Amino acid sequence: MFIRRGGLRIQGTRRSKSSESEGAIMINPAIFKAYDVRGVYPDEINGEAAHAIGSATAAHLGASRIAVARDMRRSGPELMAELIHGMVEQASP
């Protein structure tokens, strides 16, 4: 991942219903805080961003276990599911 023109560009794979596609998404670096990720849903953070963040986190940490938590907002289930999916997908051979 790298910073490019005011946004965080994360390169990775994203499965679609029809096929697997490679690409990059732009993520506003302002959503990354000291101890968490916070952004306006779905403008700054959404399922696609959560998936990419999960994938990048798993690749960076290389950990066999990662704790994931969320609050009770309506966006929580989607964001958490996509974050975990990105982590598991990255860890799969």
Q: Over its length of 93 residues, how does the chain's per-residue pLDDT go in tens digits?
A: 443 444 556 655 454 443 344 678 899 999 999 998 999 999 999 999 999 999 999 999 999 899 999 999 999 999 999 999 999 999 876
pTM here is: 0.76
CA distance linking residue 74 with residue 62, whole number of Å: 30
Q: What is the pLDDT of residue 10?
A: 61
At 69 the pLDDT is: 94
Q: Residue 7 has what pLDDT?
A: 54
Q: State the pLDDT at residue 16.
A: 44
Per-residue b or e along 39-59, where b marks 16 or more CB atoms closer than 10 Å to that residue's CB: bebeeebbbbbbbbbbbbbbe
For the chain, what is the domain count?
Answer: 1
Q: Range of 76's domain?
A: 2-91
